[in-house]
Amino acid sequence: MAAVQEPPPFEIPEQLNICTHFLERPASAHPDCMAILGEPAEMTYGALAELARRVAAAVSRDGIRDGERILIVLPDSAEFIAAFLGVARTGAIALPVNPATREGDYAHYLRDSGARMAIVHKSALAAFLPAVEATGLERIVVAGEDVGYALSPAMVGWAEWLAPVGAKLQGPATRATDPAFFLYTSGSGGSPKAAIHLHKDMLMTSWGFAQQILGMTADDRTYSVSKLFFAYGLGNGMYFPMSVGAQMILDPERPRPERSAEILAKYKPTIFFSVPTFYAALLREVDRGLTADFSSVRVAVSAGERLPPEIFQQFHRRFGLEIVDAIGSTEMLQMFLSPRPSIDGSAAAIRAGSCGMPVPGCDVKIVDDAGEEVPPDEIGSLWVRGGGAFAGYWNLPELTARTIRGGWVVTGDKFYRDADGYFHYCGRADDMMKVSGMWVSPTEVENALLGHERVAEAAVVGIVDEAGLTRPLAFVVLRAGDRPDHGFDHELREFVRTRLPGYKCPSEIKFLDVLPKTATGKIQRFRLRDSSR
């Protein structure tokens, strides 16, 4: 196979601010061009830049200093974008978090970050306010109309808080290597930890993935099912389209296939971003009669976890699109491995079940326990550098030292690279299992299960039996309206045996109505392991 031709190196300017680069720059060139198509309302680049300037002026007026943290608890909206970039414009640090999380999580974010200010949507106040006690929070800006009750002295409404139109900015001149925002990630367990990202990181990922891989231009309209509060959605739904002056389709509502079908029909996006579990859910609803029109979409992207080849093939048969199954992480900000879709009429380099090759600007290697690179087709640990690699974890120097080794980020993912240079995801290091002395990837077993026509979703974990031996246990969700009849578990296990060696086959199958998932759509295998004990 011919080698992929790499683009010339991308240069980062020494002085850089993400608000001026991603928003004020396109707003200055094309102020009347539409930035947000919906929901719930459209907004031009010029109006959005003015809103961000008003946020920045208000932050400075309230005495927030360079490097101080501001928590952002907002749904996908113009207010989210203006708050995020307006905060960064002043030299302060934006911390977006899930606006639908629990009191305990908010308490952790506040204590860990030491934030003095939070910008919170009224819908999150019931869970957020009890978390404020015993923290250093001094000011709460409440977004959303008609808050419905009196605000405390520490609280102010969004419209009242914003600086006047045309307010002057006196923010510091930030450098490319200054911190711009934190993103919280919990990984496979433990308390959420904040990954520190610099102003330059968004430029690297926009150039490497949005432009070089997806071929994004100002003519595109992006729609991301994944939300802005975490790394994948932040790029898809905000700064990727801004990097080229494209249009964004936002949706503050909870992701639902029916809702996505409405947005596809109304706004006609050209690039669609989602996660594997949502693609599976969408296909289930289409099977039940939902109409989803992907005729406007030129590229469909999946990330967050591995896309099963069965889902890839079903989607291709139904809609004629080959999903770009890329992989990234919060620590790397966006994608570091991706297939190359066809963006110019040439043959695409997409293989079902593969995450493709390194994204421009990223170096990737697979190593053994001693840190030595392994040969093709051998499973090892994935290390990455370049791109939007984070600077470290906030206030966690020991974990930072374990995760960043000689400039390489240790991802915690198990991979192998085939003879043609394509990378294949095998699972998280803590999800892999050794059965009969041989490694078993849960994703391989899950895909075999998904090959059965009655199976909608599957998750496989390793459990230790009474003899102390590890064996695969499968959890299965059947297609809508289907129930497991007598003997189906045996039928399904025999079906898997026709596809996989015996030691990889699940010794038991449990049927569930739904699989436990994170807010970003990843399957929570640790909860499945806990439930089996």
Evaluate whether 122 touches 105 at the Cβ level (below 8 Å): no
| Per-residue pLDDT band at 33 (split at 50, 70, 90) | very high
Q: Is 497 among the domain residues?
A: yes
pLDDT average, residue stretch 135-141: 92
Range with the lowest mean pLDDT among 144-153, 244-253, 383-392? Answer: 144-153
If pLDDT is split at 50, 70 and 90, which confidence band does 503 have?
confident
pLDDT digit string, tens, across residues 171-189? 678 999 999 999 998 654 4
In b/e form, how buried is each residue of 168-179, taking b as 16+ CB within 10 angstroms? ebebeebebebb
Residue 508 resides in a domain = yes
Among the candidates 193, 226, 258, a domain finishes at 193
139-148, 210-219, 474-483, range with the lowest pLDDT? 139-148
List of residues 6+ apart from 380 with CB closer than 8 A? 366, 367, 368, 373, 374, 414, 415, 416
For 483, the 3-state DSSP assignment is: coil
Number of structural domains, the chain? 2
- Position 507 confidence tier, pLDDT thresholds 50, 70, 90: confident
C-alpha R_g of the chain: 23
C-alpha span between 383 and 239 (Å, rounded): 26
Is 245 contained in some domain? no
Tokens found for residue 496: 């898997």
Q: What is the pLDDT of residues 341-371, one digit of tens each?
A: 865 544 457 888 889 999 999 999 999 988 8
* pLDDT of amino acid 8: 55
Give me the domain span that covers residue 474.
Answer: 433-531
CB count, 10 Å around CB of 129?
Answer: 15
Range 504-523 average pLDDT: 84
What pLDDT is recorded for position 132? Answer: 93
Confirm whether 426 is domain-assigned.
no
pLDDT digits (tens, 9 = 90+) for 405-453: 999 999 988 899 999 999 998 877 777 776 766 667 788 888 889 989 8
The dihedral through the CA atoms of 501, 504, 508, 509 has a sign that is negative
Please name which of 357, 404, 412 lies closest in space to residue 385, comparing C-alpha atoms.
404
Identity of residue 48: L
Q: What is the CATH number of the domain that holds 511?
A: 3.30.300.30
- Tokens 């297609």 sit on residue: 479
Confirm whether 144 is domain-assigned: yes
Q: Is 388 exposed, middle or buried (0-12, 13-18, 19+ CB in 10 A)?
A: buried
Alpha helices in 256-362 (DSSP H): 257-267, 276-287, 309-319
pLDDT tops 90 at residue 2 = no
Residue 122 has pLDDT above 50, yes or no: yes
* Any domain includes 258: no
Q: Are 95 and 197 in contact (CB under 8 A)?
A: no
Query: Which residues are CB-contacts of 376 (< 8 A; sequence separation ≥ 6)?
Result: 416, 417, 418, 419
Q: Is the pLDDT of residue 6 over 60?
A: no
Contact 110/138 with Cβ under 8 angstroms? no
* CATH number where 116 lies: 3.40.50.980
Question: Which of 193, 227, 243 finishes a domain?
Answer: 193
Average model confidence (pLDDT) across the chain:
89
Beta bridge partners of 302: 274, 325
Place of tokens 């899930």: 98
- Of the chain, the percentage scoring pLDDT greater than 70 comes to 92
Last residue of one domain, picked from the residues 140, 163, 193: 193
For residue 506, is it within any domain? yes
Question: Token pair of 87, please?
Answer: 């905060």
Residue 401 belongs to a domain: no
User: Mean pLDDT, to the nearest integer, of 291-318?
Assistant: 92
Task: Please list, in sequence order, all residues whose beta carbon lies within 8 angstroms of the beta carbon of residue 216, skipping any fewer than 6 positions away.
Answer: 210, 222, 240, 241, 243, 244, 246, 271
The whole-angstrom separation of Cα 236 and Cα 157 is 29
